[in-house]
């Protein structure tokens, strides 16, 4: 009944966990869910106020432009100049997206022919793999290992495969591992891409959620990156706007144009009132962003301390709102997630859901308040896991 492409997509690995979660709730157990990376904090009030004002404008009730409002793209350009020290042409090198996920899923349609190869991080955000499959491409997985700080080892990629590849996906700060990258790494990425005529797709959604003095660099802080790269960003995580569905991409003008051509034929853009609210978001004072980040930092510190006191091996992340933890005694990630739910009423995401090399890890999302995190820690200690 379904297309071959759809049938190639992996099964939903978390169906069993969802079933067990529902059972626990029916038993009257308060389930603590660290599974979903959806901020629990509200969107800042000034952004909501701008949406309300903009939604009343009759000119915003019509079809928006495919590129997005020029005023929004200019705000993106200003944001990049101020926060990352790099400049883009708002008319040629920036495009508005219905969330970064949409753009990441659609960009393979612009550049892949049937059977073309993409290099996909493993573990990684599933949309890289899924977008490749739906575009008729062939994903080749690049392991991200603890031994290599969850960065790809380009020397390990077969030379013939590298020459066949059309797209390389990277994502730092990283989901699910919370790993970070520096300019030295981006230099390696750009050199590898230029040597092999590859487009670099950098998912930069967590760039502003950083701790302990760390600041995430754009790939465009590296010379020549503009020749090969496009960088995707979302307002979802930085400004607690996951449901608003607005993001953007910046980079090489020809790559941006290719994505625009796909979008012109598939969607009709982002509601202009949401774009005007997005402008307000991009102009949010640094103080407000710092306050949001400080909430995640406190949660991170409480959960890391509790996990270590409970005997688990875990590293303190320098970015994102995730904790990537090894499972004990070599236990499989699905089995350990099931055990946490069964014995402590705690939901986590099994690492294998992000790829084979995610096996042996689970992911916690820091989307619960400190009181709830402390309750989860107590349950872990009581369960003796």
Q: Is the peptide bond before 135 cis (omega within 30 degrees of 0)?
A: no
Mean pLDDT of the chain: 95
Say what percent of the chain tops pLDDT 90: 89
Question: What pLDDT, on a 0 to 100 scale, did the predictor assign at position 19?
Answer: 82
Number of Cβ atoms within 10 Å of the Cβ of 60: 17
Using the predicted structure, report yes or no on whether residue 368 has a pLDDT greater than 80.
yes
Map tokens 């991409």 to a residue: 249
Contact present, 121 and 169 (Cβ < 8 Å): yes
Question: What pLDDT, on a 0 to 100 scale, did the predictor assign at position 297?
Answer: 98
* pLDDT tens by residue, 217-255: 999 999 999 999 999 999 999 999 999 999 999 999 999
Question: What pLDDT, on a 0 to 100 scale, did the predictor assign at position 160?
Answer: 96
Question: What pLDDT, on a 0 to 100 scale, did the predictor assign at position 13?
Answer: 65
DSSP-assigned letters across all residues of 25-74: HHTT---EE-------SPPPHHHHHHHHHHHT-GGGGSPPPSS--HHHHH
Tokens of 257: 């144009």
Question: What pLDDT, on a 0 to 100 scale, did the predictor assign at position 384?
Answer: 83
Tell me the mean pLDDT in the region 299-318: 96
Domains and CATH numbers, the chain: 4-42+287-383 (3.90.1150.10), 45-282 (3.40.640.10)
Tell me the mean pLDDT in the region 16-21: 77
Using the predicted structure, report yes or no on whether residue 298 has a pLDDT greater than 70.
yes
Contact present, 139 and 120 (Cβ < 8 Å): yes
pTM over 0.75: yes
Tell me the mean pLDDT in the region 170-197: 98
Using the predicted structure, report yes or no on whether residue 191 has a pLDDT greater than 70.
yes
* pLDDT tens by residue, 34-87: 998 899 999 999 999 999 999 999 999 999 988 899 999 999 999 999 999 999
Distance of CA 178 to the CA centre of its chain: 10
Please state, in angstroms and rounded to a whole number, the distance separating the CA atoms of residues 201 and 168. Answer: 6
Using the predicted structure, report yes or no on whether residue 130 has a pLDDT greater than 80.
yes
Question: What pLDDT, on a 0 to 100 scale, did the predictor assign at position 10?
Answer: 79
Using the predicted structure, report yes or no on whether residue 16 has a pLDDT greater than 80.
no
Q: Which residues pair with 325 in a beta bridge?
A: 314, 362
Using the predicted structure, report yes or no on whether residue 18 has a pLDDT greater than 90.
no
């Amino acid at each position: 009944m379904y297309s071959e492409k759809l049938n190639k997509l992996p099964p939903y690995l978390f169906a069993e966990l969802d079933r067990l979660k529902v059972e626990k709730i029916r038993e009257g157990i308060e389930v603590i869910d660290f599974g979903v990376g959806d901020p629990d904090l509200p969107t800042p009030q000034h952004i909501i106020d701008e949406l309300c004002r903009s939604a009343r404008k009759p000119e915003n009730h019509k079809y928006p432009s495919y590129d997005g409002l020029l005023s929004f793209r200019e705000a993106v350009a200003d944001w990049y100049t101020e926060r990352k020290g790099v400049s883009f042409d708002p008319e040629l090198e920036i495009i508005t997206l219905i969330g970064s996920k949409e753009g990441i899923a659609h960009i393979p349609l612009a550049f892949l022919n049937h059977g073309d190869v993409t290099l996909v991080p493993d573990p990684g955000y599933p949309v890289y793999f899924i977008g490749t499959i739906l575009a008729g491409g062939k994903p080749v997985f690049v392991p991200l290992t603890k031994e290599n700080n969850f960065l790809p080892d380009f020397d390990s990629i077969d030379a013939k495969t590298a020459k066949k590849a059309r797209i390389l996906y990277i994502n730092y700060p990283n989901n699910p591992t919370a790993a970070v990258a520096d300019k030295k790494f981006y230099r390696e990425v750009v050199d590898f891409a230029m040597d092999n005529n590859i487009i670099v797709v950098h998912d930069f959604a967590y760039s502003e959620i950083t701790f302990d003095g760390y600041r995430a660099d754009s790939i465009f802080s590296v010379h020549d990156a503009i020749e090969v790269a496009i960088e995707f960003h979302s307002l979802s995580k930085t400004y607690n706007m996951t449901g608003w569905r607005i993001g953007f991409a910046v980079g090489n003008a020809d790559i941006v144009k290719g994505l625009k051509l796909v979008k012109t034929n598939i969607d009709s853009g982002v509601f202009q009132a949401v774009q005007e609210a997005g402008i307000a978001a991009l102009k949010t004072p640094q103080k407000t962003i710092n306050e949001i980040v400080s909430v995640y930092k406190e949660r991170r510190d409480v959960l890391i301390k509790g996990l270590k006191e409970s005997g688990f091996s875990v590293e303190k992340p320098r970015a994102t709102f995730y904790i990537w933890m090894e499972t004990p005694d070599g236990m499989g990630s699905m089995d350990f997630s099931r055990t946490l739910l069964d014995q402590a009423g705690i939901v986590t995401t099994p690492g294998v859901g992000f790829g084979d090399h995610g096996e042996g890890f689970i992911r916690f999302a820091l989307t619960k308040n400190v009181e709830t995190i402390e309750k989860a820690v107590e349950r872990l200690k009581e369960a003796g896991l």
